[in-house]
Structure 1
Amino acid sequence: MISKLDLYKVFHVVGKSESFSKAAKELYMTQSAVSQAMMQLERELDTRLFNRTSRGVNLTNEGSLLFEYAHSAINLIDAGEEKMIEFKRLATGELKIGVGDTISKYFLLPYLETFHNKFPNIKLKIVNGTTDELIAVLKSGKVDIVICNFPIDDPTLELRPCFEIQDIFVYGDKYKELLSKRLRIEELVNLPLIFLEPKSNSRKYVEDYLLSKGIRISPEFELGSHDLLLEFAKINLGIACVTKEFSQEYLTTGELYEVQLTEEVPKREVGICFLKRVPLSSASSKFVELIEAVTCD
């Protein structure tokens, strides 16, 4: 049986053409099927919609009123379908990304630039926060994807690792003599330490590793950003736990030095995550493909 929406689509075409035969040709239907569809609609509405003549059909007063509403509705549906096509072609839309400040600065920016140059009509919205905060935002639907520090233990999320990172400890000139030889990590924690604040996923990872060795830490400073860790270590306020890949400028220029440990903190990963139950938008899929094309080569 023909659906109610299809009935109105047929009605709209018949109303425009004022002919069952012309409507049938446009809709790739038989004239009989068009006539039966209009009789069905008239029965359902209990209203005569067309005056039937030997030259064709024309709308009754009731039919003219209904045609105006049907015309608006069909045009809105057509516009909606066109918009869906634009979204698929990435001619319009929005990409909402959750990411931490440090990953945004040291990893994400080149990909944002490339994506924007390729798809300039896609609006980019960036939400910053810790890993836990970003996962909560992702689950609320306020972002499409999150780029953050792994590990994450959440069965509702699809996890796509991108690259490995190494947690290290760094120091300034004041500690050069003291830290000129390799240290056991047990010795290091007796020095003044600078860590990220406890809610940070990076802090939790290193702290959990130390706890597995029976080592508890009590940092002198707990800071809200990776850049501050580097700056505090640079002015000799203590030994900072940082990400090596995001500290290369300081290490290369000799502003900071890496503590040589007898046993390194195990590497971890930065990656992309999104909800398993929610299909990615075209823009999100393209962005994930862009990153994976480089990081997964």
Structure 2
Amino acid sequence: MNVTLRQLRVFCAVYERRSFTSAAEDMHMTQSAVSKLCAELESELGLPLFERTTRRVVPSDGAAELYECAQEVLNTMRIAARRLSALRTLDRGSVGIAASPMMMYGLLKPVIQEFHTAHPDIDLDLYELSTDETIDYVRTGKCDFGLVSVSASELDPQLLARVVYAQPLALACAPQHPLAGKKWVTWGAISDLEHITLRSVYSTRRTVDRILKAQGLELRSTIQAGTLATALGLVKGGASVTLIPGYARQYAFDLGLKVLDIEEKTPYLHELSLLTRRGLKPSIAAGAFIEHMDTLLQRFSGPPRV
């Protein structure tokens, strides 16, 4: 078969979006070019891959199998490209970074700004994802590295994790909340409150669950938010509280919220690890970014900053 990588990339885009129009937008191509490449692929394979109607695109029999194989091929090529990029200099190149939206804003923003100022010709690709999505992006070579909270038992054998940040969690509440006048609170007192929690796809929720399990506690919650920004926005209304990592403190302050420390004899830390693919040497650009990030993150680790 004479199948090209471009045909596979376009096929995967159509398969994922179920739309030639959306796939064309994602690929920065015309719809006619996308349709032509898919038709060429179908001709080469000798079977139709999509049923085209006026309203939607439906994958045909065999499309799922081809998608799985195509992803393996494209992942291999992405990893090969990142290995070759290690030979480049800081005069050009790109760095792919995956982390949650709040990590990007509250933790990595100064790193990104300073690195971009120092190396304006390096492209920075920011992927704001859940913990599971970040792990998948690193594993498949879609980015250079990720920032996640992950335990050793959860770690994929293809990946390496190194802790680069550790701070206690804190409690955010509205200025009118009964706790707003306090400076600190205990985990026992926290468990009696009505909470807005995050879904377990984010590392903050996983740390909260680990701490609660260790103490034999549960949280009362009727609202699960998809992002920390949403949870804090709801807390601003005054009905509930939410637990936040240290890097979200400034965002909470900017919203006018009160942030309470959590006092315990043995502090429980929210740890974040630099996640990389085992055996994949970072490019010069990615290595420089990681080195710069390590230096700046040392300022954030340790006791909470008020």
Task: Bin the TM-score by the shorter chain.
Answer: 0.5 to 0.7
Aligned residue for 2:92, secondary structure, equals coil
Partner of 2:232: 230
Q: Deviations over 1:103-158 (max 9, x none)?
A: 10012122222222232222221111112210111111111111233545424322
Q: In structure 2, what is the Cα distance between the partners aligned to 1:123 and 1:180?
A: 45
Alpha-carbon contact 2:138-2:276 (below 8 Å) kept: yes
**1:265, CA displacement in angstroms?**
5.5
**1:277, CA displacement in angstroms?**
1.8
Q: In structure 2, what is the Cα distance between the partners aligned to 1:229 and 1:99?
A: 18
Q: In structure 2, what is the Cα distance between the partners aligned to 1:124 and 1:178?
A: 39
Superposed, 1:13-24 pairs within 5 Å as none
Q: In structure 1, what is the Cα distance between the partners aligned to 2:196 and 2:279?
A: 39
Alpha-carbon contact 2:111-2:292 (below 8 Å) kept: yes
Partner of 1:99: 99
Partner of 2:90: 90
Q: In structure 1, what is the Cα distance between the partners aligned to 2:86 and 2:140?
A: 26
Aligned residue for 1:173, secondary structure, equals coil
Structure 1 residues 94, 252: closer, same or farther in 2, change over 3 A?
closer
Q: Is 1:126 aligned to 2:126, yes or no? A: yes
Alpha-carbon contact 1:184-1:263 (below 8 Å) kept: no
Structure 1 residues 222, 265: closer, same or farther in 2, change over 3 A?
farther
Amino acid at match of 1:149: S
- More displaced 10-residue stretch of structure 1: 206-215 or 262-271: 262-271
Q: 1:243 aligned to 217, 242, 245, which one?
A: 245
Partner of 1:162: 164
Partner of 1:172: 174
- More displaced 10-residue stretch of structure 1: 115-124 or 148-157: 148-157
Q: In structure 2, what is the Cα distance between the partners aligned to 1:253 and 1:138?
A: 33
Q: In structure 1, what is the Cα distance between the partners aligned to 2:134 and 2:288?
A: 21
Q: Which has the higher contact order (CA 8 A, sep 6+)?
A: 2
- More displaced 10-residue stretch of structure 1: 155-164 or 173-182: 173-182
Q: In structure 2, what is the Cα distance between the partners aligned to 1:285 and 1:181?
A: 40
The two structures have a TM-score, normalised by structure 1, of 0.62
Q: Deviations over 1:155-178 (max 9, x none)?
A: 432223222222122222343269
Alpha-carbon contact 2:101-2:128 (below 8 Å) kept: yes
Q: Is 1:214 aligned to 2:216, yes or no? A: yes
Q: Deviations over 1:19-55 (max 9, x none)?
A: xxxxxxxxxxxxxxxxxxxxxxxxxxxxxxxxxxxxx
Q: In structure 2, what is the Cα distance between the partners aligned to 1:223 and 1:150?
A: 21
Q: In structure 1, what is the Cα distance between the partners aligned to 2:263 and 2:215?
A: 14
Q: In structure 2, what is the Cα distance between the partners aligned to 1:101 and 1:279?
A: 26
Count of aligned pairs:
214
Structure 1 residues 294, 192: closer, same or farther in 2, change over 3 A?
closer
Partner of 1:190: 192
Bigger radius of gyration among the two: 1
Superposed, 1:1-297 pairs within 5 Å as 88-151=88-151, 153-154=154-155, 155-176=157-178, 180=182, 184-248=186-250, 250-251=252-253, 255-258=257-260, 261=263, 266-296=268-298
Amino acid at match of 2:98: G
Q: In structure 1, what is the Cα distance between the partners aligned to 2:290 and 2:175?
A: 41
Q: In structure 2, what is the Cα distance between the partners aligned to 1:169 and 1:232?
A: 14
Q: In structure 2, what is the Cα distance between the partners aligned to 1:95 and 1:177?
A: 43
- More displaced 10-residue stretch of structure 1: 84-93 or 125-134: 84-93
Structure 1 residues 262, 289: closer, same or farther in 2, change over 3 A?
closer
- More displaced 10-residue stretch of structure 1: 96-105 or 271-280: 271-280
Alpha-carbon contact 1:159-1:273 (below 8 Å) kept: yes
The percent of aligned pairs where both chains have the same amino acid is 18
- Structure 1 unpaired stretches of 5+: 1-83
Aligned residue for 1:247, secondary structure, equals helix
- More displaced 10-residue stretch of structure 1: 204-213 or 85-94: 85-94
The two structures have a TM-score, normalised by structure 2, of 0.61
Alpha-carbon contact 1:209-1:265 (below 8 Å) kept: no
Q: CA RMSD in A?
A: 3.0
Structure 1 residues 276, 178: closer, same or farther in 2, change over 3 A?
closer
